[in-house]
Amino acid sequence: MTGKPTLDELGIDAAAQRWQRSGAGEGAIEVAMVTGAGPLAGDWVLMRVAGDPAGRVLVYDRHEWECFLDGVKNGEFDDGVAADAVELGRRWSRGGGGAAWGPAVGPRNRCSVN
């Protein structure tokens, strides 16, 4: 296997999973936490779009998923409208907010690619 494993390679039946939804109706994002079988045993995260006629499922390993969540928490995917909130978070993390660390003073992001 090269690249990402497929559901078949992981020994996972998408229909048998317990999917968590971001909302109601078609277009909602669904996520399932699963454990692979055989040589690909381990924790995997499946993501799909409800109502996708092609039934596509994205597969992430645990590290990729944690990096994605880290990016969300640190405003990596925010657009210009949300930039003010990110800056406010940076100011908060430099003092007065009570956080142990934040984007401005935290340890180097372990998910960075350099």
The tens digit of pLDDT for each residue in 92-102 reads 555 544 333 33
Average pLDDT over residues 16-20: 94
> What's residue 110's pLDDT?
65
CB 70 within 8 A of CB 106: no
Number of H helices, E strands in the chain: 3, 4
More confident residue, 4 or 81: 4
Q: Domain locations in the chain?
A: 7-93
Average pLDDT over residues 18-39: 89
> What's residue 103's pLDDT?
42
> What's residue 97's pLDDT?
44
Neighbours of 110 (CB within 10 A): 9
Q: Tell the burial category of 40 from Cβ atoms under 10 Å away from its Cβ (0-12, 13-18, 19+).
A: middle
Amino acid at 93: S
Q: Over 50: is that where the pLDDT of 104 sits?
A: no
> What's residue 106's pLDDT?
41
The tens digit of pLDDT for each residue in 57-92 reads 999 999 999 999 999 899 888 876 555 665 656 655
Give the bridge partners for 20, in sequence order.
31
> What's residue 35's pLDDT?
86
Q: What confidence category does residue 50 fall into, taking pLDDT thresholds of 50, 70 and 90?
A: very high
- Sign for the CA dihedral angle at 59, 62, 67, 72 comes to positive
